[in-house]
Amino acid sequence: MGRLVAVGLLGIALALLGERLLALRNRLKASREVESVDLPHCHLIKGIEAGSEDIDILPNGLAFFSVGLKFPGLHSFAPDKPGGILMMDLKEEKPRARELRISRGFDLASFNPHGISTFIDNDDTVYLFVVNHPEFKNTVEIFKFEEAENSLLHLKTVKHELLPSVNDITAVGPAHFYATNDHYFSDPFLKYLETYLNLHWANVVYYSPNEVKVVAEGFDSANGINISPDDNASSVLISNLISLYTATADAPSLVLELDTLVDNLSIDPSSGDIWVGCHPNGQKLFVYDPNNPPSSEVLRIQNILSEKPTVTTVYANNGSVLQGSSVASVYDGKLLIGTLYHRALYCEL
C-alpha cells in the first residue's frame, strides 16, 4: 500500500512538473518563428559587438548605449570584457559610437550595465541612471554627464532591499526614479524557480532619498519601463504585456497583450508613439544555438490611449543580422535597435 501511495504521489508530482514546463514554453513563445521585415537603409554599428541592452536619447540627439551585459545563464560574446556606456551623436552626418570615460574611483572592472535612463535638471545638468550588476548583484549608479569631456562623473550608488532584481529604470529627478524588479528574489536558482512556477511576484518600485516604496506589483516578469513626456502616465512591459498606469492610479488603465516577449520601450516625444524591442522566441535567448540564433522584432504602437491602438511590425529578422533585440529608439527619422548580447543596428527611416 505504501509503495502505491509513493508511486501515486510521484506521478502527480511529475504531471505537475510537466504542466509547468509546458506552460513555461508557451509563455516563452518557444515555437514561434518570424518572417523578415526589412528596412532599406540600415547598417550595424561599429564598436558594439557584445550587446547594447538599452538605449536612451537626449532631445539634442545624443544617444547613450548600455553595452556588455552579462548574466547567469545568458550567452555572451565577450565574457571577460567589462561593460560600458557608449554615446553617439545622431546629428552628425555619419554618427559613430564612442565609449564614455568614467571618473576615477568607480569600479570599472565589475561594471555590468543593464537598463539606463537620463534626466535633465532645471539647470540643464544631464544625469544618467544605470542599472548595474557588479558580480551579479543589484545597484543603481547615478552619473553626471560632462559633455565637454565626453565623460561620466559618478555621483552615487543606490542599494536597497526593495531593489533585489532590477531590470530597467526611468528617472524622474536628479536622485529619483522608478525601477522594475523582474523577479522577487536575487538568488539565480530562486529566480528560475519563480519563473518556472509563474509566481507573479515581480514589481515596480519608486525610489527617492526620502522614500522607497512598491507602487505596482503582481507581474509575471516586469521588464522595461518608461514615462510619457508630460509625466502623466508610465508604461510597464511584463512578459508579453504592456500595462499603462496614470500617475495616481493603483491599477493599469490599459493592458495591451502582444504575441511576442516585450523588452525595453522608448517613447517618441514628437508623436507619443511607443517603440518596443521584442524577443519573438524567448527560449532561443537562454538556450543559445549559433545555428538557430534568437530572432529580433521591433514594434511601433500608435494611439496607445485609444480604444484600438495600432501595432505595426517595423523590423523583424531571424537572427542572421541581429540577434535578441531588446530596445528600439527613434530620433528625427533615425532608428537605433539594441540587443541583449549581440550587435546594434542604425537605420534611417
DSSP string, 272-296: --EEEEEES-HHHHHS--TTS---E
To the nearest 10°, report the CA torsion of 220, 226, 228, 232. 60
Measure the CA–CA gap between 139 and 179, rounded to whole angstroms.
11
Measure the CA–CA gap between 172 and 211, rounded to whole angstroms.
14
The answer to whether 310 touches 289, Cβ cutoff 8 Å, is: no
Measure the CA–CA gap between 82 and 59, rounded to whole angstroms.
29
Residue 294: CA count within 13 A, CB half-sphere: 30
Q: Which residue has the cell 539647470?
A: 123
Q: Which of 75, 114, 133, 183 is catalytic?
A: 114
Measure the CA–CA gap between 202 and 195, rounded to whole angstroms.
10
Tally of CB atoms within 10 A around 32: 17
Q: Which residues pair with 334 in a beta bridge?
A: 331, 348
Tally of CB atoms within 10 A around 302: 14
Cell triple for residue 228?
510619457
Q: Which residues pair with 300 in a beta bridge?
A: 275, 312
Active site residue 133: no
45 DSSP assignment: P
Measure the CA–CA gap between 240 and 38, rounded to whole angstroms.
23
Measure the CA–CA gap between 147 and 61, rounded to whole angstroms.
13
Nearest CA to 233 out of 312, 178, 187 is that of 178
- Active site positions, annotated: 114
